[in-house]
Amino acid sequence: MLNDKEKMYQVYHALLSMVLTWALTLTINQYYELRVHFLLCAIFSFVPAALVYVFDCNRKNTVSYLIIASVLPVLALFFWIRGINPIRWFQELIEWIIYFDGTEELYKGSYAHFVVYAVAFLSSILFYVIVRYEITKMILAAVVLAFMIYLAIQEIDISKVVVGIGIFYFLSIIVEICGRWYTRKAGKQEKRAGILYLAPVCLLLAVLSVSMPSKPEPLQWKGVKTFYHNIKDKMEFLVSEWGKKEGEFSIAFTGYSEEGGSLGTASLTRDNKIALKISRYSGYNPIYLIGSVSDTYTGNSWEKSRNDYLEGEAEYLLDYGEMVMALSRLDSEIIQDEQLVERRLLKVEYEYIKTKTFFYPLKTSWADLLEKQNDLSTEYANITFPKAVGKETAYQFILYDMNLKGEAFQTMLRELNSFSYNTEISMDRKTILWLEDYLFYYDSIDSISNRTNFYELLRDRANYINELYTTLPETLPERVKELAYEITEGYDTDYDKLIAIESYLKDYTYTLDPGRLPKDRDFVDYFLFDSKEGYCTSYATAMAILGRCIGIPTRYVEGFAADYNEEPADRHMYPVRNSQAHAWAEAYIEGFGWVPFESTPPFYDNRYITWKEKKKSQEAGLPLMEEFIPPQEIYLPPEEGFVVPLQQEKKASNFMVGLLITSTTVLILIILLVIYYITLKYKYNKIFKKADYNKKMYMLFLRILRLLKREGFVLGAQETILMLSKRIRDLYHYDRVEFSDVANIFMRYRYADARITEEEFNRVAIFYQGLENKQREEITKSRLLLEEFIFLMKKSNR
C-alpha cells in the first residue's frame, strides 16, 4: 500500500504529464494554425491524461482492458451512423495532415480538432510514462530546453503558457536532481515526496519569468542558424534527388496533387515546398510556366497523344513564329503605338524537384541552358530533358508577354476570326525584317524572313491542330454541347466566344474539396450540371471542352502560376512552391497561335492586369530602338483581393465543433462507465448469490465496516473488531440487533472456524440493511453511487 505522500507524488506526476500535454497541444495548434480554441486544447489535454492515470491505478483490473477494447466497436458504430468510410476518411486525414499549410482554403475544422485530440491522447500516454522514470525525465528536460532554444533561433512565436510550462518542468527536474544529490551526500534516506513542497515555488518562478517584460528583439543565434539551414537544405536535396517521382510533370507530380492523375478522384491537398526559383520579372502579369500539355480528353482524365508535332521543328518556336507573322500583318502605326507584346528575360533554377520537364512560358523565343548542358526534346509542346534533372539545373530564356487585357491586342485576335492559312497570303518581308531588327533583335533563332517554307509549316501545323485539338469522346453527354452553344449564342468571333465561356465558368464555386466523381460519370458534365464546384483542373477542363464543343481547338495545360508575393530567398531569386501548381486552358487562334484563358475564379484578376500606358511614337516612320522599347518597367503587384473565395469557418463554429467532439467523448465515457458499473454489480451479486452463509456474512461485514467508516468509526491498524465494538457500543441497533452482536458472529466465524447459520446471517443482514437505510436518508444518491462504484472496483482488483 502506498502512503499518503507517495500517493501525492504519483498525483504530482500525473499533473505534470497533463501540463506537458497541454503545452505540446498548444504549440502544435499555434504553429500549424489549427485554430482550435484555447480551452478545448486544455480539455483535450487533461481528459486523456486523467484517464491514463485512472487506468494506471486500476491496471490489474481486467474490466479496464475490456473498456479499452470497447472503444473500437464504439468508433465503428459512430462511423456507421454517420455513413463515413473510416479507411477513406483516415486516408484523407493523412493527406490533409501532410499538405495543410495553414491557409483558409485548406482548413478543415473537424480534421484540426481530431489532430489536436489525437496528439493530446498519444502524448499524455508518452509523458505519463516518461515522468515515472528518473532518466527519462532528465532526457525530456534536456529536450524541452533544446526545443525552446530552437524556437528562439527560428523566431517562432509561441504562447507564454507553453514557455511557462517549459520553465516549470525544467525547474522541477533541477530541484529533484539537486534534492537527490543532497540527500545522498548527507547519507540520508531519499524522500521523493520532497519535491511536493517545492513544486509551488517552481510554479511561481515560472509565472514570474513569463510575466516580466522582454526585449522586442530576440537573440540572433547566427552561427546556430547557419548550421541548421545548411543541414536542412542538404536533407531536402537528398529527398528530391532520391525521390521516386522522376517522370514528366503533372499536378499529381507535386504535393499539390490528386490521386493517380485522373480527374475528380479526391480532394486537393498541397505542399508548400519550394520547387523552382525564378529571377525578377519586369512584366505586369504573373508568370505561367508550362509543364505538361494534354490533347486527349477521355471523360475522366487527360492524356497525351504525342501527335502534336512537325518532325524536325521545335513546337514552341513555331508558336512564337506564328505570333511574329501575326504582328507583321498589322499596320505599322499599331505596332509602334500600341502595347501588344513586350520582351522579358527570365531565369529558372530547379530546387526540390526531380523531373524530365523543362518549364517554359508561352511565346518563348530563345532558351539558354546554364551549367548543365542537356539536349532538349522540343518537337512536342511538352519540352523534356533526356533524363530527370534536379537541383543545380538552371536556364534562362526570352519570352514575349502578351497584353491579354489590352484593347488593341483583343481587337487583333477578333480580326483573325476570318483568317486561314488555306488562303494564300503573301508575307510582308519588309515588316518582318523591321520586327526582327527592332522588336525581336535579341532572339537567336533562324530568321523567319529567310525561311521560304515558313508559311507552309504554319499551315500544316494549323491543320493538325484543328484536327487533333477539337476531338471529343463519344460518351460526352449532349447537354454539354448544348450548353456551349447556349453560352456563346450571339457572339461572332471565336475569341469572344471563349471570353463568354470564361466568364460563365467564373460563377462556379471554387473549392479544394469538391468530392469524388461518381462512377461512370463524365467529369465535365458532372462539374457543369451537378457539383458546380471544383478547383483549377475542373475549370481548365471545362473551359477546354466547352471550347471544343463549338469547334475551337483547345488544350489542357498544367504547370506553375508564379508570382512575386514572397521576398527573394537569395540572389534576387523568388521561390515558386508546389502549392503554386496550377491548371489552365489554352485556345488556338489561327494566325496568332496559342492564347491562354483563365477561368479559375481566384486566378482571373491576377491573370488579366492592365498594363501601364506607353507613350505613343512622336515621329513618323520606324522608331529608334530606345524609343520603341521602353525602359525596365516597375512590376505592378497583383491587385488586392487575390484570395481564394472559400467560406471561412468562424472561430465560434470551430469552438462548437470541438465542443461537440468533447461532448461526444464524454458521453461515450459515461456510457462505458455505466456499462463497467453494471458489470461489476452483476459480478458481485452473482458471487454473493452462489456463496454459502459464511462467505455471504463476510461480504456483508466488509460492507458494514465501510458504512461505519462513513459514520466516523474507522478500524485502526492496531485495533481489533472487539475494540471497535466497545467504541461503538449500542449506538446503532436495528430490530434488537446491535453491532456487538454482529462482531461476535464475525469473530466466531473468523477465529473459531464455526459455520454460520441462516439465523446468524439474517441478523447480520438486518444490521447492514438498517445502517444502509439510515445513510440513504442522510447522504445524496450521487455520493452513494460513487462510493459503491469505488467499493466494487476495489473488490474486483482483489
Q: Which residue has the higher pLDDT, 707 or 375?
A: 707
Least confident segment among 205-209, 335-339, 414-418, 735-739: 205-209
Output the pLDDT for position 205: 72
Q: Which residue has the higher pLDDT, 760 or 310?
A: 760
d(CA 86, CA 643): 33
Contact 519, 654 (CB under 8 A): no
Confidence label for 549 from pLDDT (cuts 50, 70 and 90)? very high
Q: Which has the closest alpha carbon to 533: 676, 644, 621, 662?
A: 644
Confidence label for 196 from pLDDT (cuts 50, 70 and 90)? low
Contact 703, 788 (CB under 8 A): no
Phi/psi of residue 321, nearest 5 degrees = -65, -35
- Crossing angle of helices 651-690 and 38-57, in 10° steps, is 20
Instruction: Name the grid cell of 311.
Output: 518532325
Least confident segment among 3-7, 156-160, 402-406: 3-7
pLDDT for residue 422 is more than 90: no
pLDDT digits (tens, 9 = 90+) for 281-314: 666 668 899 998 999 999 988 988 766 567 778 8
Output the pLDDT for position 248: 57
pLDDT digits (tens, 9 = 90+) for 639-690: 333 233 323 333 444 455 555 666 666 677 677 778 877 887 888 888 888 8
pLDDT digits (tens, 9 = 90+) for 340-386: 888 888 889 888 888 888 999 998 888 888 765 567 888 788 888 88
Distance of CA 654 to the CA centre of its chain: 16
Output the pLDDT for position 653: 47
pLDDT for residue 561 is more than 60: yes
Q: Which residue has the higher pLDDT, 375 or 251?
A: 375
Contact 397, 289 (CB under 8 A): no
Output the pLDDT for position 258: 38
In the chain, the percentage of residues whose pLDDT exceeds 70 is 74
Q: Print the SS3 string covering 253-288.
A: HCCCECCCCCCCCCCCECCCCEEEEEECCCCCCCEE
- Give the strand pairing for 296-297 and 302-303: antiparallel
Q: Which residue has the higher pLDDT, 351 or 500?
A: 500
| Unique residue bearing C-alpha cell 542537356 | 374
d(CA 315, CA 468): 15
Output the pLDDT for position 100: 74
Output the pLDDT for position 619: 43
Bridge partners for 593 per DSSP: 589
Domain-wise residue ranges, the chain: 4-224+654-661, 251-468+553-612, 691-797
Output the pLDDT for position 343: 84
What's the farthest any 2 CA atoms get from each other in the chain? 133
| One-letter amino acid of 68 | I
Output the pLDDT for position 694: 86
Phi/psi of residue 533, nearest 5 degrees = -150, 150
Confidence label for 249 from pLDDT (cuts 50, 70 and 90)? low
- What is the rounded average pLDDT of the residues 181-198? 59
Instruction: Name the grid cell of 743.
Output: 462482531
Confidence label for 436 from pLDDT (cuts 50, 70 and 90)? low
| Unique residue bearing C-alpha cell 467504541 | 727
Least confident segment among 160-164, 539-543, 785-789: 785-789
Q: Which residue has the higher pLDDT, 478 or 193?
A: 478
Output the pLDDT for position 620: 39
Confidence label for 612 from pLDDT (cuts 50, 70 and 90)? confident
Output the pLDDT for position 502: 93
In the DSSP assignment, the letter for residue 250 is -
Please provide the average confidence, as pLDDT, over all residues in the chain.
77
738: part of which helix (H) or strand (E)? Answer: strand 737-738
Instruction: Name the grid cell of 346.
Output: 527570365
Output the pLDDT for position 523: 94
Neighbours of 355 (CB within 10 A): 25
Output the pLDDT for position 224: 47
- What is the rounded average pLDDT of the residues 113-141? 86
Confidence label for 538 from pLDDT (cuts 50, 70 and 90)? very high
Instruction: Name the grid cell of 268.
Output: 486537393
Contact 141, 173 (CB under 8 A): yes
By the 10 Å C-beta count (0-12 exposed, 13-18 middle, 19+ buried), 295 is classed as buried
